[in-house]
Amino acid sequence: GAVVSQHPSRVICKSGTSVKIECRSLDFQATTMFWYRQFPKQSLMLMATSNEGSKATYEQGVEKDKFLINHASLTLSTLTVTSAHPEDSSFYICSALTGGSHTEAFFGQGTRLTVV
């Protein structure tokens, strides 16, 4: 199946700093990528939809200035958590949609962010 690589898998940062998370589709072009956040024992929460070459569409309640999304190419989307705070600590997951008539969503490995 299609492969989506997310990096880093774990990151610990100090409060006030910024962290960039990369999501790459390795063997297909993804015009659409999604960024999710997942709290322990809870479902995936969609943060934003990222479309190549255009601005991301953020879900209600998600601060676009805090969670910067860039989808500069058909194989790469990045999420930057700016001025991170301990409450931003979470599991962040990206997924990418394949194209064609039978589109599927494949997930990256996820990034465990801990802000201290």
Partner 1 sequence: GQNIDQPTEMTATEGAIVQINCTYQTSGFNGLFWYQQHAGEAPTFLSYNVLDGLEEKGRFSSFLSRSKGYSYLLLKELQMKDSASYLCAVRDSNYQLIWGAGTKLIIKP
What token pair was written down for 14?
């100090």
d(CA 18, CA 84): 6
* DSSP character string of 15-41: TT--EEEEEEESSS--SEEEEEEE-TT
Under the criterion CB under 8 A, does residue 107 sit at the interface with partner 1?
yes
Query: Segment 41-60, which members bind partner 1 (CB under 8 A)?
Result: 42-44, 46, 49
Give the one residue of 20, 22, 62, 110 binding partner 1; rule: CB under 8 A. Answer: 110
User: Is the Cβ–Cβ distance between 33 and 22 less than 8 Å?
Assistant: no
Q: Is 104 in the site for partner 1 (CB under 8 A)?
A: yes
Q: Give me the least distance between CB of 90 and partner 1, in Å please.
A: 12
Q: Footprint of partner 1 on this chain (CB under 8 A)?
A: 1, 6, 32, 34, 42-44, 46, 49, 91, 93, 95, 97, 102-110, 112
